[in-house]
Amino acid sequence: MSVDELAHNPQQAIIAAWLACDDQEKVKALYAKALAQKNALLGDAVHLRGLIELSNICAKDCFYCGIRCSNTKVVRYDLSDEEVLEAADFAQKAGYGSLVIQSGERSAPTFTKRISRLVTEIKSISNNQLGITLSCGEHPLEVYQEWFAAGAHRYLLRIESSNPNLYASLHPSGTRHSYKSRLQALGAVKKAGFQTGTGVMIGLPGQTVFDLADDLLFFKELDVDMVGMGPYLEHVDTPFFTLKETLWPKDKRLAMSLKMIAILRLIMPDINIAATTALQALDPYGREKGVLAGANIIMPNMTMAKVRQNYRIYDLKPGLEEDAELSKSHLEENLAAMGIRIARNEWGDSLHFGKC
Ligand code: SAM
Ligand code: SF4
Protein backbone atom coordinates (compact mmCIF):
# COMPACT_ATOMS: atom_id res chain seq x y z
CA MET A 1 0.00 0.00 0.00
CA SER A 2 1.88 3.09 -1.19
CA VAL A 3 0.91 6.75 -0.79
CA ASP A 4 1.69 7.39 -4.47
CA GLU A 5 -0.89 4.80 -5.48
CA LEU A 6 -3.58 6.96 -3.87
CA ALA A 7 -2.78 9.94 -6.07
CA HIS A 8 -2.34 7.98 -9.26
CA ASN A 9 -4.99 5.32 -8.92
CA PRO A 10 -7.70 6.40 -6.48
CA GLN A 11 -10.05 3.46 -6.18
CA GLN A 12 -12.57 2.56 -3.50
CA ALA A 13 -10.60 -0.49 -2.24
CA ILE A 14 -7.30 1.41 -1.98
CA ILE A 15 -8.86 4.42 -0.24
CA ALA A 16 -10.81 2.19 2.16
CA ALA A 17 -7.61 0.28 3.03
CA TRP A 18 -5.89 3.57 3.91
CA LEU A 19 -8.87 4.66 6.00
CA ALA A 20 -8.76 1.38 7.89
CA CYS A 21 -4.98 1.58 8.35
CA ASP A 22 -3.84 1.79 12.00
CA ASP A 23 -0.10 1.62 11.28
CA GLN A 24 1.04 4.95 12.74
CA GLU A 25 4.20 5.14 10.64
CA LYS A 26 2.19 4.74 7.44
CA VAL A 27 -0.42 7.25 8.58
CA LYS A 28 2.33 9.77 9.41
CA ALA A 29 3.75 9.29 5.91
CA LEU A 30 0.27 9.91 4.48
CA TYR A 31 -0.08 13.22 6.38
CA ALA A 32 3.44 14.28 5.40
CA LYS A 33 2.78 13.64 1.71
CA ALA A 34 -0.56 15.52 1.84
CA LEU A 35 1.05 18.47 3.64
CA ALA A 36 3.89 18.60 1.13
CA GLN A 37 1.36 18.52 -1.71
CA LYS A 38 -0.60 21.40 -0.20
CA ASN A 39 2.49 23.48 0.52
CA ALA A 40 3.84 22.97 -2.99
CA LEU A 41 0.62 23.93 -4.75
CA LEU A 42 -1.22 26.31 -2.40
CA GLY A 43 1.53 27.61 -0.13
CA ASP A 44 2.11 27.00 3.56
CA ALA A 45 -0.29 29.63 4.96
CA VAL A 46 -3.85 28.93 6.10
CA HIS A 47 -6.69 31.17 4.85
CA LEU A 48 -9.37 32.24 7.31
CA ARG A 49 -13.10 32.84 6.79
CA GLY A 50 -14.88 34.49 9.73
CA LEU A 51 -18.09 32.56 10.45
CA ILE A 52 -21.39 34.34 11.11
CA GLU A 53 -24.16 32.02 12.33
CA LEU A 54 -26.97 34.23 11.05
CA SER A 55 -29.96 32.30 12.37
CA ASN A 56 -30.81 28.96 13.97
CA ILE A 57 -34.35 28.99 12.59
CA CYS A 58 -34.62 25.96 10.31
CA ALA A 59 -37.46 24.32 8.42
CA LYS A 60 -35.67 20.99 8.33
CA ASP A 61 -35.56 18.12 10.76
CA CYS A 62 -32.27 16.30 10.09
CA PHE A 63 -31.98 13.47 12.66
CA TYR A 64 -28.41 14.43 13.65
CA CYS A 65 -28.65 18.21 14.09
CA GLY A 66 -29.23 20.04 17.39
CA ILE A 67 -31.10 22.95 15.76
CA ARG A 68 -33.55 20.74 13.82
CA CYS A 69 -37.03 22.25 13.78
CA SER A 70 -38.50 19.64 16.16
CA ASN A 71 -36.07 20.50 18.95
CA THR A 72 -38.34 22.70 21.07
CA LYS A 73 -35.60 23.29 23.67
CA VAL A 74 -33.71 25.60 21.30
CA VAL A 75 -34.17 29.36 21.78
CA ARG A 76 -34.49 30.59 18.19
CA TYR A 77 -32.79 33.76 17.00
CA ASP A 78 -32.06 35.92 13.99
CA LEU A 79 -29.03 38.22 14.17
CA SER A 80 -29.94 41.83 13.35
CA ASP A 81 -28.52 43.54 10.25
CA GLU A 82 -26.36 45.68 12.54
CA GLU A 83 -24.89 42.60 14.22
CA VAL A 84 -24.07 41.02 10.85
CA LEU A 85 -22.40 44.20 9.60
CA GLU A 86 -20.50 44.54 12.87
CA ALA A 87 -19.18 41.00 12.39
CA ALA A 88 -18.20 41.83 8.80
CA ASP A 89 -16.32 44.86 10.06
CA PHE A 90 -14.54 42.63 12.59
CA ALA A 91 -13.55 40.21 9.80
CA GLN A 92 -12.10 43.00 7.72
CA LYS A 93 -10.17 44.56 10.60
CA ALA A 94 -8.87 41.13 11.62
CA GLY A 95 -7.53 40.60 8.10
CA TYR A 96 -9.63 37.47 7.59
CA GLY A 97 -10.14 38.31 3.91
CA SER A 98 -13.42 36.37 3.70
CA LEU A 99 -16.49 35.55 5.74
CA VAL A 100 -19.10 32.80 5.73
CA ILE A 101 -22.78 33.40 6.41
CA GLN A 102 -24.34 30.16 7.66
CA SER A 103 -27.88 29.52 8.84
CA GLY A 104 -30.76 27.11 9.15
CA GLU A 105 -32.70 26.57 5.95
CA ARG A 106 -35.63 28.87 5.18
CA SER A 107 -37.36 29.43 1.87
CA ALA A 108 -39.46 32.55 2.61
CA PRO A 109 -38.63 35.47 0.30
CA THR A 110 -38.21 37.70 3.37
CA PHE A 111 -35.25 35.47 4.29
CA THR A 112 -33.74 34.97 0.83
CA LYS A 113 -34.03 38.68 -0.04
CA ARG A 114 -32.48 39.59 3.31
CA ILE A 115 -29.43 37.48 2.46
CA SER A 116 -29.08 39.34 -0.87
CA ARG A 117 -29.33 42.67 0.91
CA LEU A 118 -26.76 41.70 3.54
CA VAL A 119 -24.33 40.42 0.89
CA THR A 120 -24.68 43.69 -1.06
CA GLU A 121 -24.12 45.77 2.08
CA ILE A 122 -21.08 43.77 3.19
CA LYS A 123 -19.56 44.14 -0.28
CA SER A 124 -20.25 47.87 -0.12
CA ILE A 125 -18.96 48.61 3.39
CA SER A 126 -15.85 46.50 2.86
CA ASN A 127 -15.16 48.16 -0.49
CA ASN A 128 -15.27 44.69 -2.05
CA GLN A 129 -12.37 43.62 0.15
CA LEU A 130 -14.22 40.73 1.80
CA GLY A 131 -14.98 37.51 -0.10
CA ILE A 132 -18.35 36.02 0.86
CA THR A 133 -19.26 32.34 1.19
CA LEU A 134 -22.86 31.33 1.86
CA SER A 135 -24.07 28.15 3.53
CA CYS A 136 -27.83 28.46 3.90
CA GLY A 137 -29.13 25.15 2.59
CA GLU A 138 -31.11 24.06 -0.48
CA HIS A 139 -32.78 26.63 -2.71
CA PRO A 140 -33.96 26.91 -6.30
CA LEU A 141 -31.54 28.06 -9.00
CA GLU A 142 -33.09 31.55 -9.11
CA VAL A 143 -32.30 32.14 -5.43
CA TYR A 144 -28.68 31.02 -5.88
CA GLN A 145 -28.44 33.26 -8.96
CA GLU A 146 -29.74 36.22 -6.96
CA TRP A 147 -27.21 35.64 -4.16
CA PHE A 148 -24.39 35.26 -6.68
CA ALA A 149 -25.44 38.47 -8.44
CA ALA A 150 -25.44 40.25 -5.05
CA GLY A 151 -21.74 39.41 -4.69
CA ALA A 152 -21.38 36.09 -2.85
CA HIS A 153 -19.02 33.86 -4.79
CA ARG A 154 -18.69 30.60 -2.85
CA TYR A 155 -21.39 28.24 -1.59
CA LEU A 156 -21.18 25.31 0.81
CA LEU A 157 -23.81 22.58 0.70
CA ARG A 158 -22.72 19.29 2.20
CA ILE A 159 -24.08 16.12 0.67
CA GLU A 160 -23.72 14.73 4.25
CA SER A 161 -23.24 11.21 2.78
CA SER A 162 -22.94 10.29 -0.88
CA ASN A 163 -24.60 6.93 -0.17
CA PRO A 164 -28.31 7.50 -0.95
CA ASN A 165 -29.39 4.80 1.54
CA LEU A 166 -27.28 6.24 4.32
CA TYR A 167 -28.53 9.74 3.41
CA ALA A 168 -32.11 8.48 3.71
CA SER A 169 -31.36 7.07 7.18
CA LEU A 170 -30.16 10.52 8.35
CA HIS A 171 -33.36 12.33 7.45
CA PRO A 172 -37.12 11.99 7.72
CA SER A 173 -38.67 10.54 4.57
CA GLY A 174 -40.35 12.80 2.04
CA THR A 175 -39.35 15.28 -0.64
CA ARG A 176 -38.15 17.97 1.80
CA HIS A 177 -35.20 15.82 2.83
CA SER A 178 -34.46 13.85 -0.33
CA TYR A 179 -31.04 12.87 -1.66
CA LYS A 180 -32.22 13.73 -5.16
CA SER A 181 -33.13 17.32 -4.15
CA ARG A 182 -29.79 17.73 -2.38
CA LEU A 183 -27.96 16.65 -5.50
CA GLN A 184 -30.10 18.91 -7.68
CA ALA A 185 -29.40 21.84 -5.36
CA LEU A 186 -25.66 21.17 -5.65
CA GLY A 187 -26.04 21.25 -9.43
CA ALA A 188 -27.89 24.56 -9.16
CA VAL A 189 -25.14 26.02 -6.95
CA LYS A 190 -22.61 25.17 -9.67
CA LYS A 191 -24.84 26.47 -12.44
CA ALA A 192 -25.31 29.79 -10.64
CA GLY A 193 -21.55 30.33 -10.91
CA PHE A 194 -20.39 29.73 -7.34
CA GLN A 195 -17.16 28.10 -6.32
CA THR A 196 -18.93 24.99 -5.12
CA GLY A 197 -18.26 23.30 -1.81
CA THR A 198 -19.69 20.14 -0.34
CA GLY A 199 -18.77 17.69 2.39
CA VAL A 200 -19.81 14.85 4.64
CA MET A 201 -19.96 13.87 8.28
CA ILE A 202 -17.50 11.18 9.34
CA GLY A 203 -18.45 8.42 11.78
CA LEU A 204 -22.20 8.48 11.21
CA PRO A 205 -24.26 5.61 12.57
CA GLY A 206 -24.04 2.74 10.07
CA GLN A 207 -21.27 4.38 7.97
CA THR A 208 -18.36 2.20 6.75
CA VAL A 209 -14.90 3.00 5.38
CA PHE A 210 -16.27 2.01 1.96
CA ASP A 211 -18.96 4.72 2.25
CA LEU A 212 -16.25 7.24 3.16
CA ALA A 213 -14.05 6.13 0.26
CA ASP A 214 -17.05 6.61 -2.03
CA ASP A 215 -17.59 10.09 -0.54
CA LEU A 216 -14.09 11.12 -1.62
CA LEU A 217 -14.67 9.68 -5.10
CA PHE A 218 -18.00 11.53 -5.21
CA PHE A 219 -16.21 14.87 -4.59
CA LYS A 220 -13.85 14.05 -7.45
CA GLU A 221 -16.64 12.95 -9.77
CA LEU A 222 -18.64 16.12 -9.02
CA ASP A 223 -15.43 18.10 -9.54
CA VAL A 224 -16.08 20.36 -6.55
CA ASP A 225 -13.88 23.34 -5.67
CA MET A 226 -14.08 23.13 -1.89
CA VAL A 227 -14.75 20.50 0.78
CA GLY A 228 -15.64 20.89 4.45
CA MET A 229 -15.96 17.61 6.33
CA GLY A 230 -15.58 16.60 9.92
CA PRO A 231 -16.63 14.11 12.57
CA TYR A 232 -20.28 13.47 13.33
CA LEU A 233 -20.91 14.41 16.97
CA GLU A 234 -23.86 13.53 19.15
CA HIS A 235 -26.51 15.98 20.34
CA VAL A 236 -28.62 14.87 23.29
CA ASP A 237 -31.89 16.28 21.93
CA THR A 238 -31.83 14.55 18.55
CA PRO A 239 -33.25 11.17 17.44
CA PHE A 240 -29.70 9.96 16.66
CA PHE A 241 -28.65 10.24 20.29
CA THR A 242 -30.24 6.84 20.89
CA LEU A 243 -27.62 5.35 18.51
CA LYS A 244 -24.64 6.69 20.47
CA GLU A 245 -23.51 3.24 21.66
CA THR A 246 -23.14 2.11 18.03
CA LEU A 247 -20.71 4.90 17.04
CA TRP A 248 -16.98 4.68 16.48
CA PRO A 249 -15.11 6.00 19.55
CA LYS A 250 -14.28 9.72 19.34
CA ASP A 251 -10.53 9.16 18.83
CA LYS A 252 -11.34 6.96 15.85
CA ARG A 253 -13.69 9.59 14.40
CA LEU A 254 -10.91 12.17 14.76
CA ALA A 255 -8.27 9.94 13.17
CA MET A 256 -10.64 8.99 10.35
CA SER A 257 -11.40 12.68 9.69
CA LEU A 258 -7.68 13.52 9.45
CA LYS A 259 -7.09 10.60 7.08
CA MET A 260 -10.06 11.74 4.95
CA ILE A 261 -8.46 15.21 4.65
CA ALA A 262 -5.05 13.80 3.74
CA ILE A 263 -6.39 11.37 1.13
CA LEU A 264 -8.59 14.06 -0.40
CA ARG A 265 -5.60 16.39 -0.69
CA LEU A 266 -3.77 13.70 -2.65
CA ILE A 267 -6.62 12.93 -5.02
CA MET A 268 -7.79 16.56 -5.46
CA PRO A 269 -4.58 18.57 -4.92
CA ASP A 270 -5.80 22.06 -5.87
CA ILE A 271 -9.14 22.34 -4.04
CA ASN A 272 -9.80 24.22 -0.80
CA ILE A 273 -10.23 21.88 2.17
CA ALA A 274 -11.48 23.20 5.52
CA ALA A 275 -10.25 22.03 8.90
CA THR A 276 -13.67 22.20 10.56
CA THR A 277 -14.75 23.23 14.05
CA ALA A 278 -15.93 19.67 14.74
CA LEU A 279 -12.25 18.61 14.71
CA GLN A 280 -11.62 21.16 17.46
CA ALA A 281 -14.51 19.64 19.43
CA LEU A 282 -12.56 16.37 19.67
CA ASP A 283 -9.09 17.83 20.18
CA PRO A 284 -8.13 21.42 21.21
CA TYR A 285 -5.60 21.29 18.33
CA GLY A 286 -7.92 19.40 15.98
CA ARG A 287 -8.12 22.16 13.37
CA GLU A 288 -4.35 22.66 13.36
CA LYS A 289 -3.89 18.90 12.98
CA GLY A 290 -6.29 19.12 10.01
CA VAL A 291 -4.02 21.74 8.42
CA LEU A 292 -0.98 19.55 9.01
CA ALA A 293 -2.85 16.74 7.24
CA GLY A 294 -3.48 18.88 4.15
CA ALA A 295 -6.35 21.31 4.88
CA ASN A 296 -5.84 24.99 3.96
CA ILE A 297 -8.92 26.78 5.36
CA ILE A 298 -10.15 27.51 8.92
CA MET A 299 -13.41 29.27 9.80
CA PRO A 300 -13.06 31.13 13.14
CA ASN A 301 -16.42 31.85 14.73
CA MET A 302 -17.46 35.54 14.88
CA THR A 303 -21.03 34.98 16.12
CA MET A 304 -21.99 37.17 19.10
CA ALA A 305 -21.43 35.37 22.42
CA LYS A 306 -25.04 36.00 23.51
CA VAL A 307 -26.47 33.65 20.85
CA ARG A 308 -23.66 31.11 20.35
CA GLN A 309 -25.26 28.70 22.84
CA ASN A 310 -28.30 28.60 20.59
CA TYR A 311 -26.40 27.44 17.49
CA ARG A 312 -25.33 24.23 19.20
CA ILE A 313 -25.55 21.70 16.36
CA TYR A 314 -23.74 19.11 18.52
CA ASP A 315 -23.12 18.89 22.26
CA LEU A 316 -19.35 19.36 22.33
CA LYS A 317 -19.32 22.51 20.20
CA PRO A 318 -16.26 24.52 21.28
CA GLY A 319 -16.03 28.26 21.95
CA LEU A 320 -19.64 28.71 23.08
CA GLU A 321 -18.59 31.19 25.79
CA GLU A 322 -16.28 33.16 23.51
CA ASP A 323 -16.82 36.29 21.45
CA ALA A 324 -15.20 36.97 18.06
CA GLU A 325 -12.08 38.52 19.63
CA LEU A 326 -11.45 35.58 21.97
CA SER A 327 -12.03 32.98 19.24
CA LYS A 328 -9.53 34.90 17.10
CA SER A 329 -6.84 35.03 19.76
CA HIS A 330 -7.27 31.35 20.72
CA LEU A 331 -6.93 30.32 17.08
CA GLU A 332 -3.90 32.56 16.54
CA GLU A 333 -2.20 31.13 19.64
CA ASN A 334 -2.89 27.56 18.50
CA LEU A 335 -1.68 28.18 14.95
CA ALA A 336 1.49 29.83 16.24
CA ALA A 337 2.11 26.93 18.63
CA MET A 338 1.90 24.50 15.70
CA GLY A 339 4.07 26.70 13.45
CA ILE A 340 1.28 27.48 10.97
CA ARG A 341 1.30 30.83 9.18
CA ILE A 342 -1.88 32.85 8.49
CA ALA A 343 -2.55 34.49 5.11
CA ARG A 344 -4.07 37.94 5.80
CA ASN A 345 -6.38 40.06 3.67
CA GLU A 346 -6.62 37.53 0.85
CA TRP A 347 -9.72 35.78 -0.47
CA GLY A 348 -7.88 32.48 -0.80
CA ASP A 349 -10.06 31.27 -3.65
CA SER A 350 -10.00 27.66 -4.76
CA LEU A 351 -7.24 27.18 -7.32
CA HIS A 352 -9.37 24.44 -8.81
CA PHE A 353 -12.26 26.73 -9.76
CA GLY A 354 -12.71 27.27 -13.48
CA LYS A 355 -10.28 24.52 -14.47
CA CYS A 356 -11.64 21.88 -16.85
N1 SAM B 1 -28.63 24.41 7.18
C2 SAM B 1 -27.56 24.37 6.27
C3 SAM B 1 -27.31 22.97 5.78
O4 SAM B 1 -27.72 22.02 6.45
O5 SAM B 1 -26.71 22.86 4.71
C6 SAM B 1 -26.28 24.94 6.85
C7 SAM B 1 -26.12 24.85 8.34
S8 SAM B 1 -25.86 23.21 8.96
C9 SAM B 1 -25.80 23.49 10.70
C10 SAM B 1 -24.14 22.97 8.53
C11 SAM B 1 -23.63 21.58 8.68
O12 SAM B 1 -23.60 21.21 10.04
C13 SAM B 1 -24.43 20.47 8.02
O14 SAM B 1 -24.16 20.38 6.65
C15 SAM B 1 -23.98 19.23 8.81
O16 SAM B 1 -23.02 18.47 8.10
C17 SAM B 1 -23.33 19.83 10.06
N18 SAM B 1 -23.89 19.20 11.28
C19 SAM B 1 -25.14 19.28 11.73
N20 SAM B 1 -25.29 18.51 12.83
C21 SAM B 1 -24.09 17.93 13.06
C22 SAM B 1 -23.61 17.02 14.04
N23 SAM B 1 -24.40 16.53 14.99
N24 SAM B 1 -22.29 16.64 13.97
C25 SAM B 1 -21.47 17.14 13.03
N26 SAM B 1 -21.89 17.99 12.08
C27 SAM B 1 -23.18 18.38 12.09
FE1 SF4 C 1 -31.35 22.59 9.47
FE2 SF4 C 1 -28.89 22.37 8.38
FE3 SF4 C 1 -29.42 21.44 10.88
FE4 SF4 C 1 -30.45 20.14 8.79
S5 SF4 C 1 -28.25 20.40 9.28
S6 SF4 C 1 -31.57 20.72 10.68
S7 SF4 C 1 -30.89 21.86 7.41
S8 SF4 C 1 -29.47 23.56 10.22
Tell me the pLDDT of the chain (356 aa) as tens digits.
789 889 888 999 999 999 999 999 999 999 999 999 999 999 999 999 999 999 999 999 999 999 999 999 999 999 999 999 999 999 999 999 999 999 999 999 999 999 999 999 999 999 999 999 999 999 999 999 999 999 999 999 999 999 999 999 999 998 889 999 999 999 999 999 999 999 999 999 999 999 999 999 999 999 999 999 999 999 999 999 999 999 999 999 999 999 999 999 999 999 999 999 999 999 999 999 999 999 999 999 999 999 999 999 999 999 999 999 999 999 999 999 999 999 999 999 999 998 76
Ligand nearest, relative to CA of residue 276? 1
Q: What is the DSSP letter of 248?
A: P
Q: How far is the CA of 65 from the centre of ligand 2 (A)?
A: 6
- CB of residue 235 inside a 6 A radius of ligand 1: yes
Ligand nearest, relative to CA of residue 185? 1
Nearest to 295 by CA among 356, 232, 230, 249: 230
Determine the residue of 57, 67, 74, 312 to mutate for testing ligand 2's pocket, defined as the one with the most ligand atoms within 8 A of the Cβ atom.
67
Nearest to 300 by CA among 17, 174, 308, 353: 308
Count of CB atoms situated within 10 Å of the CB of 253: 21
Range list of β-strands (E), 111-162: 131-135, 154-156
Q: How far is the CA of 338 from the centre of ligand 2 (A)?
A: 33
Given this model, what pLDDT does residue 12 score?
Answer: 97
- CB of residue 102 inside a 6 A radius of ligand 1: yes
Tell me the backbone φ, ψ of residue 148, rounded to 5 degrees. -65, -45
Which protein residue's CA is at the shortest distance from atom 8 of ligand 2? 104
Range list of β-strands (E), the chain: 46-55, 98-103, 131-135, 154-156, 195-198, 201-202, 226-231, 272-275, 297-298, 342-343
Tell me the backbone φ, ψ of residue 55, rounded to 5 degrees. -160, 145
Determine the residue of 201, 236, 312 to mutate for testing ligand 1's pocket, defined as the one with the most ligand atoms within 8 A of the Cβ atom.
201
- CB of residue 52 inside a 6 A radius of ligand 1: no
Determine the residue of 64, 105, 204 to mutate for testing ligand 2's pocket, defined as the one with the most ligand atoms within 8 A of the Cβ atom.
105
Count of CB atoms situated within 10 Å of the CB of 227: 28
Ligand nearest, relative to CA of residue 134? 1
102 within 8 A of 53, measured Cβ to Cβ: yes
Ligand 1 atom with minimal separation from the 138 CA: 5
Ligand 1 atom with minimal separation from the 156 CA: 5
- CB of residue 111 inside a 6 A radius of ligand 1: no
| Half-sphere CA count of 64, side-chain side, radius 13 A | 22
Question: What is the value of pTM for the model shown?
Answer: 0.98
Q: How far is the CA of 64 from the centre of ligand 1 (A)?
A: 8
Given this model, what pLDDT does residue 249 score?
Answer: 98
Quick check: helix, strand or coil at residue 78?
Answer: strand
d(CA 251, CA 232): 12
Which protein residue's CA is at the shortest distance from atom 3 of ligand 2? 65
Given this model, what pLDDT does residue 355 score?
Answer: 79
Given this model, what pLDDT does residue 174 score?
Answer: 85
**Residue 207 amino acid letter:** Q
296 within 8 A of 271, measured Cβ to Cβ: no
- CB of residue 64 inside a 6 A radius of ligand 1: yes
Ligand 2 atom with minimal separation from the 65 CA: 3
Ligand 1 atom with minimal separation from the 313 CA: 20
Nearest to 299 by CA among 328, 258, 326: 328
Ligand nearest, relative to CA of residue 280? 1
Given this model, what pLDDT does residue 356 score?
Answer: 66
**Residue 106 amino acid letter:** R
Q: How far is the CA of 167 from the centre of ligand 1 (A)?
A: 13
Nearest to 267 by CA among 100, 75, 34, 54: 34
